[in-house]
Structure 1
């Protein structure tokens, strides 16, 4: 490779970025040596086509001679409100590594020039742990919460783990010995947090390189948890066509257009010299077009001389061209098995057949349920109903919740005191014989309704911990709308299997530690 000047290297490193913090420092380093950059990804939801945006920048960094480290941030995935359950963490990390290597190979990036690191390989060391404690002694709660506001899942009662997240990401810069960290502009607050607090531990301030956020197919941010907003890397050509057909692409609108953004930040950065963006059209529609620069393409779309349907058709061709090597890679039986194990609610029969994952299925997924571990701190008979208990349950809030439960004919009162139960917390409060109930104790019952008992929560759980459904992530509704009968729809698939394990559509209900929720009653509904 011909020698590249520091100025050209800097131009390649910074092209298409939205913002750079530490520009002068980068200029200074490049005069002496090549830059050391790291990019990290938390191993949560499945990577999708928007991941080609950072991949294409990694290709740029390598062209500029940079030393690049890719961090599979498995511990971060768990700390971010347990988006990846502990039981699935290792599997998802392996999936990320396999699929990201396949993506890089698809765009011609040599893997031998990259370093791949798993977060828990060093984040559990004595030295790193001590630095976490040191950092916690100087960081305020306000700054930690503010830093993670755009990245860490925000909930009404945040777990301490989410406050630790920004500090760990800051420390990664030191432990990976990088000059610069690369990420999306949504990570800016974490980057400025690192610039403020790393020097407090005696470590140097790093450079920060930020990509713009690419709009999703439906407009807005492209998200792993919003099925309509993204194309999965293993989607079939038919699925790609279907999603692009539904994609938001208003004639002349270049502001919130996920298709144009993808062309700009991925395709044009990958085109070889002299290669342009090809659009095939019938002669009666004006014939084929070729745009040699993105600006020309954007101008044509803004002036409406390029129809949204023709843009979609061209993008479909290029996306399938990028995805085909990845699909072929994942025809390997072992990788198919890995994909299904890491994301149990995803594909069930390789690439040819997909499990039902329609927009309605995603919208009404079990992630909408706010199920928490509760501890009964007070149990009394309801004064006006022999079949009801009036309970006070600690669900991790400042004040215990009042919950009325119809267990009086099935569970002795004394066995309810101090018992751990699973509580559905986002039903609309209702009065039951004069006492307001702000939740529901989830129970199993047989078909004759002669046996009813609370599902079993492991004894080492704590009040307020979230119970999730394996393979599903997302924010629960603040309150389930009773008119839309969301709970009734989801409850129909909530049951115990033949082994007495609590499941939703065969996906296990899990504690934060990955333990299964059980019941003495098998093959029963949960409600």
Structure 2
């Protein structure tokens, strides 16, 4: 095979990327030598299907003669609001390394040409620590928060550890000795921060290569923090079928369709690797149109828009394609050693001891109940009708169906922020075991949960997924849902709701969270319409 020209190498490096910062610098280096690139990933939640996108680009980089370093950023995983506890970081780093190598091998990428580096192998040295102090001395609180806004978990009172994250990612470029860093477009603010800060420390400015983000099955992007938006690389065939099956995929809708987006961003690029002609097949009986083989995504999208492809047929085809992709990775991990590594990295939750039934709503004398989300009865509810409070134009009085014939009156101070028309016949999340009380002269028997921006300029009601019914549960992994027939009525003077809700937040993906757990329903996670950070009250 003839050697590639610098222009041909750049074409391979940049194809399918969403953006390149410093393209001229990359081209100048390619005119003299091959490019050094690093891609980093923090071992937090389990890697998901979205990882196939950077894997395909790594294949392009290798084909272009690039030298690739894969950074397993174990220190970063701990710093990002402690998403990975320090006692688990080491095992998760091993798990990520093994799983990434298995994934690359499954699509024909030679891992022996890659250099894997553990972040702690150099980030704990004296030289790196001094450089980190220097970058901290030149970084304002505002710039640190802005740089990490799309990557680091955002909370009202951020830990100092999370604010260090962007500076350390910038320094990695210098200490790994690379010409460019590769990552998702969600890291753009960190990349522009690095381009500003490294020259300020006397280091050279690097280029940045950004791939598109993979949309989630039930949200704006596939994310480890939202289990319903993603399919793990070791997901069982049954769970793949279940998650794809319940993903939103409305007939003819091509704009809000995570299934179609996955075909576009993952399946077609994967199948076109190494110059292959990509195809995607819909297999169905003749009476429903027969089999169709698509050679471009546009053909598939057009047919779906025109309702020539039914959502059920699309979901079946995608389920089969995903299970084919994951089969060799599952096989690689099908041994005692790697099963134990998986358990060590992500320990199975210990079963909670069965509590003795309590007939009274009151706790037994002397009992101490935990102050956590298990104390709250949060349900999907439907506003039947809302009207403006006659005595207070800033409040609504709503008639709310909480399920099983449980219809309540709820007063909420939302009229300044939400149009009355948006309050009619809509699903909401309601806390249903607060002690009823008079609010602005009207007895209110529940609380509607809303998210707000840091300055309270934007307030939105939480949005449960579509196709739910009033009374459906909102649950949190690892916390048992209380039996509604025995749920205590929370006395306001004990401030249980206030203490628990202090740990509510909105993720960068717009998912409602309790600590690191999403508000979950049988149809997916609860989200916000536009807020990507803030608090819930």
Give the structure-1-normalised TM-score: 0.67
Task: Classify the secondary structure of the residue corresponding to 1:290.
Answer: strand
> Deviations along 1:189-228, whole A, 9 cap, x unmatched?
1000000100001111111111122111113221212221
Matching residue of 1:265: 265
Give, in whole Å, the separation in 1 of the partners of 2:17 and 2:52.
14
Matching residue of 1:56: 56
Post-superposition shift, 1:289? Answer: 1.3
Does residue 332 of structure 2 align to residue 329 of structure 1? yes
Post-superposition shift, 1:127? Answer: 0.8
Give, in whole Å, the separation in 1 of the partners of 2:515 and 2:85.
20
With over 3 angstroms needed to count, the CA separation of the structure-2 counterparts of 1:307 and 1:9, relative to structure 1, is farther
RMSD of aligned C-alpha atoms? 3.1
- Map 1:293-442 onto structure 2 (within 5 A): 293-345=296-348, 430-431=492-493
Matching residue of 1:37: 37
Q: Is the 8 A contact 2:278 2:296 kept in 1?
A: no
Q: Is the 8 A contact 2:38 2:180 kept in 1?
A: yes
Deviation larger for 36-45 or 232-241: 232-241
With over 3 angstroms needed to count, the CA separation of the structure-2 counterparts of 1:199 and 1:301, relative to structure 1, is same
Matching residue of 1:404: none
Number of positions where the alignment pairs a residue of Structure 1 with one of Structure 2? 377
Q: Is the 8 A contact 1:18 1:211 kept in 2?
A: yes
> Deviations along 1:395-432, whole A, 9 cap, x unmatched?
xxxxxxxxxxxxxxxxxxxxxxxxxxxxxxxx989326
Give, in whole Å, the separation in 2 of the partners of 1:157 and 1:221.
25
Q: Is the 8 A contact 1:252 1:302 kept in 2?
A: yes
Structure 2 unmatched ranges of 5 or more: 352-370, 376-488, 504-510, 522-537
Does residue 232 of structure 2 align to residue 194 of structure 1? no
Q: Is the 8 A contact 2:185 2:211 kept in 1?
A: yes
Matching residue of 2:514: 476
Matching residue of 2:531: none
Post-superposition shift, 1:187? Answer: 0.6
Task: Classify the secondary structure of the residue corresponding to 1:172.
Answer: helix
Give, in whole Å, the separation in 2 of the partners of 1:253 and 1:64.
38
- Map 1:87-236 onto structure 2 (within 5 A): 87-236=87-236
Post-superposition shift, 1:346? Answer: 6.7
> Deviations along 1:6-49, whole A, 9 cap, x unmatched?
22222222222211111111222222222211110011001111
Give, in whole Å, the separation in 2 of the partners of 1:202 and 1:39.
23
Task: Classify the secondary structure of the residue corresponding to 2:91.
Answer: helix
With over 3 angstroms needed to count, the CA separation of the structure-2 counterparts of 1:4 and 1:260, relative to structure 1, is farther
Task: Classify the secondary structure of the residue corresponding to 1:227.
Answer: coil
> Deviations along 1:74-109, whole A, 9 cap, x unmatched?
000000111100110101101111111111111111
Matching residue of 1:242: 242
Task: Classify the secondary structure of the residue corresponding to 1:222.
Answer: coil
With over 3 angstroms needed to count, the CA separation of the structure-2 counterparts of 1:130 and 1:86, relative to structure 1, is same
Structure 1 unmatched ranges of 5 or more: 349-365, 371-426, 442-463, 466-472, 485-527
With over 3 angstroms needed to count, the CA separation of the structure-2 counterparts of 1:52 and 1:177, relative to structure 1, is same
- Map 1:478-497 onto structure 2 (within 5 A): none
Q: Is the 8 A contact 1:241 1:316 kept in 2?
A: yes
> Deviations along 1:346-369, whole A, 9 cap, x unmatched?
799xxxxxxxxxxxxxxxxx9969
Give, in whole Å, the separation in 1 of the partners of 2:227 and 2:266.
21
Give the structure-2-normalised TM-score: 0.65
Post-superposition shift, 1:344? Answer: 1.2
Post-superposition shift, 1:330? Answer: 1.1
Task: Classify the secondary structure of the residue corresponding to 1:199.
Answer: helix
